Structure 1
Amino acid sequence: MTLAKARRSQLLSTYGVGGLFPAESTSFMIAGLHEWDVDKAEHISEPRLARALGVTELKAPPAGGKRDVPVIRYPYTQVCPKCRRIGALSQLSKDKNVAKCKVDNVDLSPFRLIAACRSGHVSEFPVYWWLHKGQQDKIRGNEHEMRLNVLGRTSSLGDLTLSCTCGVEDRSLEGAIGSGSLVDFGKCSGLRPWLGLETNEECDQYPRAVQRGASNVWFPAVRSSISIPPYSEALAKFVDRNWEMVKEPDAVIPPVLAGLAAMSKGRFTVEQITREIERRRGEEDDDEEISETKLRADEYKALVEGRDEEGLDSDFVCLRRDVPDGFDFLISDVRKVTRLREVRALEGFTRLDGAPDPSGPGQKLCALAPTRLHWLPAIEVIGEGVFLAFRRSVLDEWASGDFAQKRARVLQQAADRAAADYGRPSAPVNIVKVAVHTLSHIIIDQLSLDAGYPAAALRERLFVDDKMAGLLVYTASSDSAGSLGGVASMAESERLGAALKEGLQRLSWCSSDPVCIESGGSGADGLNLAACHACVLAPETSCEMNNAFLDRALLFGTHDEGCEDAGLFSELVERAL
């Protein structure tokens, strides 16, 4: 069989540890980090993010050789497409390591259903118990050779029926993935096959049947940071790559320093390396916790301060540009980011309940290894973008108005309901962040037209708390659409002003209006108000909040009496019309 292949980025976003990887006619699960060959993993320099995640090192998933990332066959329940027998691989095949039917000598196919719980555990779908439930009195004999028959009418689960040689009546799989369908078979077994057979946990959840290819089987918890000075400089990255050699004070001796200078091939002197080691050691001795809030605050500060183009080795070039005419009432700063580097690291994953929000309430994540390791898998992306900073005082005054507060209360009620349904703490809704988030989606949509990039190649990064308000729209693709300069060029005053005016005017109306603008709750768990696929919803890869907490009415107002001019850009759009 041809070896399954995946890009490095997919091992964080689509098929990471604990996720299912389809390959030809079979299916695999990516094994835990403890099984990976760490020596083949390339070091990625980003000390701020590593400290925030509680590890000492970030490494790129190994690539370039055969069997770089270990996998296990999952699910273990297989079906023969010819004789239709269904059962464990060891029952259907002569060799438990080869998925080939011992009767018909054809490749076996993995069963399409598995069981999962909200705590992240997975197990095989209880095929035997599903078929034999309530029919114990009809069982004749001890042989149970089951078959999965296809009626051929539709592709639904109701068209698949199970039968057994023991004489029980056939039963279809209709209703198997419904809520509570597996309650009668007991609580979750706590299995974590990606970590090994002996790593099951106590679990009080009831499992739920899901299709193995469903999107809710695996949600990655990805944390990211942008490299900012001094971490974006070549000297800092060089010292970070060799930190294990010099992290102990006793190791910093002249021969070691001279060796490092020689390794840099003349780029850095002994004095420069010594200063960087001392700076880095001072950070290591600082016990301050680096939270997500701290990461964003540091990045916001670096973006506002800007950085001229100095040298070719910097991964952070941020140039000041003028605020477009007509927008200085709200926008305080514009930056043309001609080069930036983003590092994304996988810290865990969840199942069933949706992707976790890094800035939201804490959520228990599934472990990537049986014990805590010193490293996590990560990737780096080089790109460019446009940064906007907003006048916080103007936003605060607007947010305190009746219109914004009313919209905030509706979203808060939806957030509280969703939190109660999922059994996790509810976070307060920041209506300023909702407004900035919605504007970010409008900019992404407009830049995809003006700059010629697909919307999925653009990504947002929001900087909103009680003291700051800003957004960065940047290229997030590692392919040819990654850093062509088209997005950064839109930061020029005339181009940005024209793009903002056109985007705001165009999306002030939606083809689904008045249904969209009058919506009292839309999207997953009702966490959006005036937002739909015809206006401000963006590709999943572009939005860092999973297309939630969006409300176009905050920017343009509604048709209700007294609310026509309540949006942040209502007056500007009216003048344009």
Structure 2
Amino acid sequence: MAGAMQRENLDGLVCSGHHPHRPLDKNKKCEKIAIPSQRGASNIYFPVIRSAISIPPWTNPINDIINANRRVIESYEEDFGEVGLQKAYEKFFASKYTRQEFDEAYTRIKNKIQEYTEIKEMEYAAIINHTDLAYQRDVKYFKAEEVRINNGLDKYFSRIIKIHRLREVMVLLGFMRMEAPEPEVDEPNHICKLNKKGGQESWLPAVEINGEGIFVEFNKNQISRWKNTPEVKRLSEKYKDYYNKFCNDKGWTMYKERTAEYISGV
């Protein structure tokens, strides 16, 4: 087996363009050179997963009704405009919800969140503002409680929140070969997607996870003082430059810059 995995031993062998996870698709022409790898290698398969916690207003059951009947609603709207929307409201929602609730939910779903980073920002806002009435409408999926910080720890932590109840939805978008996906990159290159654009597949595998957790928020003033020390500031700029170069070399266009603050918070 010595030398069997060297690239020069596979000169002339190119990718067949075959996707075994899409049995209905024809092979695509691909001129890329095949890269040998052992079947049990850890880099042969990296799942690309997106996850989000269930927070109001997305936990409202009206969202499920809209998603289940979305094609019908959209066809009514396309054919009859406002009259069609009223007809859809009367058919599916009038017995339980007001027209305003339907309009708000339907608009929210049509303008669905596009970027992965935006979802995380919404989750952060829900957790730190958990006492607001807007986030207490459905404790079945999301319930949180502030914890008193003992003397001495407040130097390092601004708040600690116990999350008694939480539902997370995880969706498998596809997979990558040879290199792992970057969590905060919305569309990294080389993803082999399970559901291709314009394809016959109309769904993705997903799982719901119910549990609890602890949210810890670091003292931002303390981190800011630490970041502004000359040595840390120098290393922080160096780290940011290296990370930007790393992302650019990989062809990533959607990513957040990282400094020493990111390292201190993980």
TM range (shorter): 0.7 to 0.9
Once the two structures are superposed, what CA deviation does each residue of 1:421-447 show, in whole Å capped at 9, x if it has no partner?
A: x7434964322111111xxxxxxxxxx
C-alpha deviation, 1:387, in angstroms: 0.8
C-alpha deviation, 1:325, in angstroms: 1.9
Alignment-mate amino acid for residue 87 of structure 2: A
2:22 aligned residue: 195
C-alpha deviation, 1:345, in angstroms: 0.9
2:161 aligned residue: 335
1:222 aligned residue: 49
**More relative contact order in 1 or in 2 (CA 8 Å, sep 6+)?**
2
1:323 aligned residue: 149
Aligned 8 A contact 1:318 1:335 in 2:
yes
- The answer as to 2:199 corresponding to 1:363 is no
Aligned 8 A contact 1:228 1:302 in 2:
yes
Once the two structures are superposed, what CA deviation does each residue of 1:205-236 show, in whole Å capped at 9, x if it has no partner?
A: 32121122222111111011111112224x34
2:261 aligned residue: 432
Change (3 A) 1:397 1:290: farther
- The answer as to 2:31 corresponding to 1:207 is no
Structure 1 Cα separation of the partners of residues 18 and 9 of structure 2 = 16
Aligned 8 A contact 1:227 1:316 in 2:
yes
Alignment-mate amino acid for residue 279 of structure 1: E
* Structure 1 unaligned residues grouped into runs of 5+: 1-157, 159-173, 262-269, 438-577
1:176 aligned residue: 4
Aligned 8 A contact 1:181 1:208 in 2:
no
Alignment-mate amino acid for residue 231 of structure 1: W
Aligned 8 A contact 2:56 2:137 in 1:
no
Aligned 8 A contact 1:182 1:208 in 2:
no
Aligned 8 A contact 1:239 1:276 in 2:
no
Structure 2 Cα separation of the partners of residues 434 and 290 of structure 1 = 27
Structure 1 Cα separation of the partners of residues 47 and 130 of structure 2 = 32
**Which structure carries more helix by proportion?**
2
After TM superposition, the structure 1 = structure 2 runs for residues 120-269 of structure 1, keeping only pairs within 5 Å, are 158=1, 174-178=2-6, 180-196=7-23, 198-203=26-31, 205-233=32-60, 235-236=61-62, 238-240=64-66, 242-244=68-70, 246=73, 248=76, 249-257=85-93, 261=95
Alignment-mate amino acid for residue 148 of structure 2: D
C-alpha deviation, 1:382, in angstroms: 0.5
Which protein has the larger Cα radius of gyration, Structure 1 or Structure 2?
Answer: 1
Aligned 8 A contact 2:158 2:219 in 1:
yes
Aligned 8 A contact 1:181 1:209 in 2:
no
1:405 aligned residue: 233
Aligned 8 A contact 2:48 2:173 in 1:
yes
* Structure 2 unaligned residues grouped into runs of 5+: 77-84
C-alpha deviation, 1:297, in angstroms: 1.3
Aligned 8 A contact 2:195 2:202 in 1:
no
C-alpha deviation, 1:357, in angstroms: 1.4
Q: Secondary structure at the match of 1:210?
A: coil
Structure 1 Cα separation of the partners of residues 247 and 129 of structure 2 = 38
State percent identity of aligned pairs.
23
Structure 2 Cα separation of the partners of residues 242 and 192 of structure 1 = 30
C-alpha deviation, 1:386, in angstroms: 0.7
C-alpha deviation, 1:317, in angstroms: 0.3
Aligned 8 A contact 1:411 1:429 in 2:
yes
Aligned pair count reads 248
1:303 aligned residue: 127
Once the two structures are superposed, what CA deviation does each residue of 1:330-382 show, in whole Å capped at 9, x if it has no partner?
A: 322221100001111112211012x2113137422112145444432211100
Alignment-mate amino acid for residue 329 of structure 1: K
Alignment-mate amino acid for residue 401 of structure 1: T
Structure 2 Cα separation of the partners of residues 243 and 406 of structure 1 = 55
* TM-score, structure 1 as length reference: 0.38
Aligned 8 A contact 1:246 1:277 in 2:
no
